[in-house]
Structure 1
């Protein structure tokens, strides 16, 4: 039986595309399942400084306002009728570091039944705002909503805010909330207990320069952000510890500049692995060695290795097998080319991306594969 190994070169240019948002889950539709109560209690990627579940709203619930899009939105405490100085801010980590001197467009939609939309501030920082020791009155946000909206509109409907931000290159986090130093006067009713609110939805931060794109590591940063599942008392303990002893600031990889690239694509069929295993068979070594001989840094921008299975067996087992096979290929090639490991992402798709029908033996054989996408800068 002859095995078909596909090796092709595809040429393309990076084009402006959907997905350049530097903020994960900007529409708040992805829900976090907190580890403490094992229930949906917050949006993925975003955490409120109140450390409670009083800022995530579902438009399908009785009495809730309609979201700008989807069904979820954020409600931030802008003040309290019972106590002065009450605020709630939300923060998230950026997917990529910003380039110093470059401009970025911040867009979001806001609403409130009160005339308080002028004091929403957007604060960029290197350290996580959750661990900020200073009171909000001593923090000066770089952007204010008043500068990017038409304040003549009715505050009780969603209004678009668009602002430009010039980066200094140290940004790692963004926090949003009411940074007004004194409380509002004249507010007579509250939305939640004694608190009155500002509502936010569909937040994005995108490079103004069309040649600037998300960094190669954005997917892995997003996964790490989504894995922050501490909420409630777990989060309180974490914040308490880190406010006393802040963690080191971990710089993010910078956004990427537009490049003309081509992709080398290699498909490795199932027979190059031990049966039902992620271990490479000796049959694969010549193929991978030949592929590795064509690799050289810094011409290589990045490499993605994706594992796939057929539909036989349980999903969890197929997910693990497809990912481990991709990781085996990455490990082998990284051992041949110094520096390749840091530029490689592995993914396991189980049987979700078949190239043929899983109803026939031949189709299942073709679906069991590992695909390598090698992104090379055109010189």
Structure 2
């Protein structure tokens, strides 16, 4: 949520926009939220995580957020973000997924083992933003994501400090997306986001809350899993239409009626109806015929489905067989229905 950090949280302690919505930093003693468009990767906001400073050289700082939906065990997810730092610390920066809230865990934060490290990303100290793309395989228990400095020893940092007494690395434009194109956000994603946005405790109030909850961590309700979509298809051949017409014949209506009956038990997200022709005749006439046939089928199906029905006419642009043969041209003259089903 709020992957660009553009949406601002008004903290309850100072009534200022001092933090990004949906994200919490353990850098309670330093600035970590920046409104600085010239230095952002995109937009105007980004976050900075303190690596060390002269007063707390052994401190470790982390940035935590709750996921919008639970991940599916064994599925792969792509984590993308931009990072920049002038310091050679990328081997210690990691990403940690957890079932429980990282803010309240009893184990020392620096002793936690993240599932992903930036060591293999080939990053070098630079004042320029660098893109990072990592793949994570879920164990199915994830509720939270944390980015931070997981080095167990004190950093040996020298050179110019980034801000005041502190050395930083900066993060912008973060996203976590499934590699499976059938996997979509869960229905509860908006309510999870709203709940996190309403949590406005920051600064010393958060420090006290962390102290209390670390002794007795509150229970964490598992997030609803992402939604998997299955795509079913139905092909209506040209012979079920009148020649060069988009009127549905009785056999076509019987086929569609059976299709409606078969899909009554499905949780249908949407239907896409696409019309196709062979390459005989003019492109403009074929475009009109393919679109009209798709719209004719969609009009017949729409009363049976509450979900959205979309139509497209492709003319001869997407053949499935050789247009040089009569048999191939017959296969190309068709209407295809794609049904997107929630599992």
Q: Is residue 156 of structure 1 aligned with residue 127 of structure 2?
A: yes
Aligned counterpart in structure 2 of residue 242 of structure 1, from 213, 225, 238? 213
Shift of 1:301: 6.7
Q: Is residue 175 of structure 1 aligned with residue 146 of structure 2?
A: yes
Aligned counterpart in structure 1 of residue 174 of structure 2, from 203, 207, 230? 203
Contact 2:111-2:150 within 8 A present in 1 as well: no
Shift of 1:117: 2.3
CA distance in 2, matches of 1:195, 1:154: 16
Shift of 1:195: 1.4
> After superposition, where does 1:252-271 map in structure 2 within 5 Å?
252-260=223-231
Q: Which moved more, 1:250-259 or 1:113-122?
A: 113-122
Q: Is residue 122 of structure 1 aligned with residue 75 of structure 2?
A: no
Contact 2:58-2:153 within 8 A present in 1 as well: yes
CA distance in 1, matches of 2:83, 2:58: 21
CA distance in 1, matches of 2:265, 2:169: 48
Shift of 1:186: 4.3
**Which protein has the larger Cα radius of gyration, Structure 1 or Structure 2?**
2
Aligned counterpart in structure 1 of residue 49 of structure 2, from 76, 83, 97? 76
> After superposition, where does 1:33-48 map in structure 2 within 5 Å?
33-48=10-25
Contact 1:132-1:243 within 8 A present in 2 as well: yes
Q: Where does structure 1 lack aligned partners over 5 or more consecutive residues? A: 1-23, 262-295, 303-374
> After superposition, where does 1:103-142 map in structure 2 within 5 Å?
103-142=76-115
> After superposition, where does 1:225-236 map in structure 2 within 5 Å?
225-236=196-207
TM-score, normalised with respect to structure 1: 0.60
Contact 2:75-2:137 within 8 A present in 1 as well: yes
CA distance in 2, matches of 1:45, 1:132: 19
SS in 2 for 1:181: coil
Shift of 1:241: 1.8
SS in 2 for 1:105: strand
SS in 2 for 1:137: helix
Aligned residue in 2 for 1:357: none
CA distance in 1, matches of 2:106, 2:47: 24
When the two structures are aligned, how many residues end up with a matched partner?
A: 247
Shift of 1:130: 0.8
Q: Which moved more, 1:78-87 or 1:194-203?
A: 78-87
CA distance in 1, matches of 2:151, 2:265: 48
Change (3 A) 1:127 1:188: same
> After superposition, where does 1:185-334 map in structure 2 within 5 Å?
185-260=156-231, 299-300=266-267
SS in 1 for 2:127: coil
Contact 1:133-1:243 within 8 A present in 2 as well: yes
Shift of 1:232: 2.0
CA distance in 1, matches of 2:202, 2:157: 34
- Superposed CA deviations along residues 237-288 of structure 1, whole A, max 9, x for unmatched, are 3222211110112100001111459xxxxxxxxxxxxxxxxxxxxxxxxxxx
CA distance in 2, matches of 1:298, 1:85: 58
CA distance in 2, matches of 1:378, 1:184: 49
Contact 1:115-1:155 within 8 A present in 2 as well: no
Aligned counterpart in structure 1 of residue 117 of structure 2, from 123, 144, 164? 144
Shift of 1:154: 4.9
Q: Where does structure 2 lack aligned partners over 5 or more consecutive residues? A: 233-262, 270-338
Contact 1:117-1:155 within 8 A present in 2 as well: no
TM-score, normalised with respect to structure 2: 0.66
Contact 1:111-1:117 within 8 A present in 2 as well: no
- Superposed CA deviations along residues 310-339 of structure 1, whole A, max 9, x for unmatched, are xxxxxxxxxxxxxxxxxxxxxxxxxxxxxx
Aligned residue in 1 for 2:6: 29
